[in-house]
Structure 1
Amino acid sequence: MKFALKTLSAVLLSASLPLVASANEQKINDAMAQVGLTVQQISPSPMAGVSQVVTDRGLFFMSADGRYLIAGNILDLESWQEVRGQQVPANLKDQVMAPIIVEKLAQQKDSVIEYKAPNEKYVVHVFTDPSCGYCRKLHSEMKDYLAAGITVRYLAYPRAGVASETGLQMQHIWCAKNQRNAMDNAKDVKKVDKAMCQNPVASHYELGQFFGVSGTPAVILPDGQLIPGYMPVAAMIEQLGAK
């Protein structure tokens, strides 16, 4: 009889688990909606009692009861890695986001403006804005990147928004018959001819926000790691070689 009672208790407990998970997910969905975020995916995180939540604005962590929202980096003090010659704790947020970023960038292959290296060794994606000084600096060194075997794929990220003057200019660039020539002109502060079409500028901008881009240039390495800011060719090669 005791065995039967224990078995029955186990069955009842296991049957209740999906209901608990469902209730927690509903709390998380409701909490995210309060702060204007749309949930795309909820899954357990390595932290007890905390879920990792993919939203339309990137990755967040939230307590199972939907009360506490964690926005920002989560550092694992038991897992260290070398970054630019320094040992730093692994960032759980980066680890979770990296494969998501790689997958979403693959879906954008036909919408980027590509500068292909003749002897390609690496492919990096760069969220760019022609009005950004460091974006122009990076572009001025494009020959060096290509000579080093680094293919550069540009995505649009007008810092002032899609409806801004730069946002409109970027639409002209992506709609130009010769996109690379239009991009070269924009980065060299030359005239870009007006051209309109169905273009990916708005979707690139939204994707950048999802990835957590806060400024330009924002470089994404082949493994999905996001590097904010300009990086000289030598430093880029060193970073890529460490992967």
Structure 2
Amino acid sequence: MRLFSRGVAVFLSLLTLNTQASVLADAANDHIKAKIESTLQWQVHAIADSPVRGLVQVSTENGLFYASADGTYFLQAKIYNLDEEMRNESEIALAEMRIEGLKQFENSYIEFKAKKEKYVVTVFTDTTCGYCRRLHEQMGEYNEAGITVRYLAYPRAGLSSPTYRQMVNVWCATDPKDAMSTAKAGQNVAPASCKTDIAKQYQFGRSIGVNGTPNIILPNGTVVPGYQPADQLLSTLQSTAG
């Protein structure tokens, strides 16, 4: 009985220490969050442990960063694991953020669906982007290859630009798919208004590292930062599947 009581006491002591450590970690993260937001005027979405001791991983509206545990230093970097064949730990973290974050836009996509769907890719697009237009011109080839393309908006010139207004017209059109094709052909889209989350789409894109268009997110959360013809994209998808 005495041994049992001693074991309980040790367990309770460890539990207390873990709780105290958790409280201290939360306080440190709150301090880092407040410091970044007040100093840089950036919104911090989350703070988590990083693969490197002494650093925490900081997800912000402007991308993924790292900070020292006391909040003194702020780093933009990629972390590679030399023991795991130069595995890109930063990209793994971003891929998880992309997959999770895309779930909020399930009712926002403008989707061009393949009849015999094998893969689904998400493309951040700009209606005035030359390579975005080339991709759209070849939509039939992507669909024929079994690739469903679903669009999110990323007006490269920002949320006060004419392109943003045009993309609102596209998303608010009676037939958004037809309006997208019209805009990608360089033609005017009839003015329209509705409640959209295009600003949210754009801001999410920035937070996960989108800085140009087209930006193709694969099912596993990795990114193709630019245009790929259908056969090349299919090969990429096949090589990353599973």
Q: Deviations over 1:115-171 (max 9, x none)?
A: 000000000000001110010111111111000000000011111112211110100
Moved more, 225-234 or 132-141: 225-234
Q: In 2, distance between residues paired with 1:225 and 1:156? A: 18
Which structure's residues are more often strand, by fraction?
1
TM-score by length of 2: 0.87
User: What is the aligned counterpart of 1:142 among 128, 139, 142?
Assistant: 139
TM-score by length of 1: 0.87
Q: Which residue number corresponds to residue 236 of structure 1? A: 233
- One-letter identity of the residue aligned with 1:112: Y
| SS of equivalent residue, structure 2 residue 65 | strand
Number of equivalent positions: 230
Q: Give the direction of change, closer, same or farther, for the CA distance of 1:8–1:70 in structure 2 (3 Å limit).
A: same
5+ unaligned residues in a row in structure 2: which ranges?
1-9
Q: Which residue number corresponds to residue 130 of structure 1? A: 127
Q: Which residue number corresponds to residue 27 of structure 1? A: 31
Q: Which residue number corresponds to residue 44 of structure 2? A: 39
Structure 1 runs of 4+ aligned residues shifted over 3 Å read: 6-16
| SS of equivalent residue, structure 2 residue 149 | strand
- Once the 2 structures are TM-superposed, how far is the Cα of residue 38 of structure 1 from its aligned partner? 2.5
- Once the 2 structures are TM-superposed, how far is the Cα of residue 18 of structure 1 from its aligned partner? 3.4
- Once the 2 structures are TM-superposed, how far is the Cα of residue 203 of structure 1 from its aligned partner? 1.4
Q: Is the 8 A contact 2:31 2:71 kept in 1?
A: yes
Q: Using the aligned pairs only, state the percent identity.
A: 42
5+ unaligned residues in a row in structure 1: which ranges?
1-5, 81-88
User: What is the aligned counterpart of 2:173 among 176, 179, 197?
Assistant: 176
- Once the 2 structures are TM-superposed, how far is the Cα of residue 78 of structure 1 from its aligned partner? 2.4
Q: In 2, distance between residues paired with 1:204 and 1:8? A: 47
| SS of equivalent residue, structure 1 residue 111 | coil
Q: Which residue number corresponds to residue 89 of structure 2? A: 92
Q: Give the direction of change, closer, same or farther, for the CA distance of 1:209–1:10 in structure 2 (3 Å limit).
A: closer
Q: Give the direction of change, closer, same or farther, for the CA distance of 1:9–1:241 in structure 2 (3 Å limit).
A: closer
- Once the 2 structures are TM-superposed, how far is the Cα of residue 42 of structure 1 from its aligned partner? 1.9
Residues 84-233 of structure 1: pairs in structure 2 closer than 5 A: 89-233=86-230
**Over aligned residue pairs, what C-alpha RMSD do you find?**
2.1
| SS of equivalent residue, structure 1 residue 78 | helix
- Once the 2 structures are TM-superposed, how far is the Cα of residue 79 of structure 1 from its aligned partner? 2.3
